[in-house]
Structure 1
Amino acid sequence: MQITSEALERAIEELARLPGTGRKSAQRMAIHLLKQSDERVLKLADALVQLKKSVQRCSVCGTITDRDPCAICSNAKRQTGVVCVVEEFQDVFIIEKTNEFRGRYHVLGGVISPLENIGPDDIRIKQLLERIGSGDEQIEEVILALNPDAEGEATSYYINKLLLNYDVDVTRIAYGIPMGTELEFIDEATLSRAFASRASF
């Protein structure tokens, strides 16, 4: 195939590197951008540059923020005694959307995964223990809210074992059947977990 524009081809190649974006989607995006005004494209470019320049990790919880500490850690109205441990910063956004949790967070930045050579020292478990051990936040409860897959389970088990040496309650979010789902469409592992996590009516 003859390439008519090196610049367009380069834009397609870069856009195709985005997660969930194939070459056809990247081509559509590049052509769409090409049709936009210079001002619109420059706004997008500036937003991406600012994203890389301004966004950083909160030194307390590890989520992404424009200022350190983040808005959650610096909010005096948040519960200081409860910390929810999540895998990645996007999990914070998901939990915050529910408006159910009023405590603080600790983002691990991954999970233990021997197949990918990720061990306990490669994620932010040490920082969690330091937060609890320092006594600055007077943490009384640690909620484990990791994904219910093999790596998430292994990481939760490992953290729970470490926290036996600390004076904190360790809980985990309940796993089970999503609202509005019929039993016939539930897989066996989810159904088993739902029975194991049952609570009083």
Structure 2
Amino acid sequence: MGDLGVGVGQLANLERLRVVCFGLYRIGDAGACSFGLNLQRLSRLMDIDLNFYRTGLGDQGLNGIGRGLAGLGNLVALHLDCRYCSAIGDASFTQDFGRGLGKQGLLQRLRLDFGGCTNVSDEGLRGLSCGLEALGQLESLRLDFGDCPHIGGGGLRCVARALSGRLAGESCAHREVSLAGSGCGQGDGAAMQ
């Protein structure tokens, strides 16, 4: 992943980036941090699709990607798939990944897939909510935290509060929110109301 990071960093005019690794490649946190460091060099990047499904990515790596995202000012679409990366816990959502996400003022479409990340809890969703709250241009949001047994109603309520101001406005007909959380621990249907 370090080599990929260096290579990507040399594509200064890139507007769209898609990286698919899912499970065939063990990324490691050091490689993901290198990738994040080089990602911030792509100032024209508008659309990112990163698929790290079952790659063993952890909090340090996700924070490295978050630091890279923080350096991008033109991003309008982000899809990050980290399903079944069981080394990801709350730390990345409350630290650099959550903060980096919140710096994406132009972001319109966001899809985060963290289903099966069994170490993520309500605390992680609280941190993520701080980042979501800052996304004033967001039109479409899909969050997948299915099979995360430590997520309950408290975390879901934080997400709902972070989004409530924007979704209640006149333009809410153009907004889409999807939260997949089947298999979550103590979540309840009333949490998002």
| TM-score past 0.5 threshold | no
Higher RCO (CA 8 Å, separation ≥ 6 residues)? 2
TM-score by length of 1: 0.31
Q: Which has the larger radius of gyration?
A: 1
TM-score by length of 2: 0.32
Q: Answer 1 or 2: which has greater strand percent.
A: 2
Q: Answer 1 or 2: which has greater helix percent.
A: 1
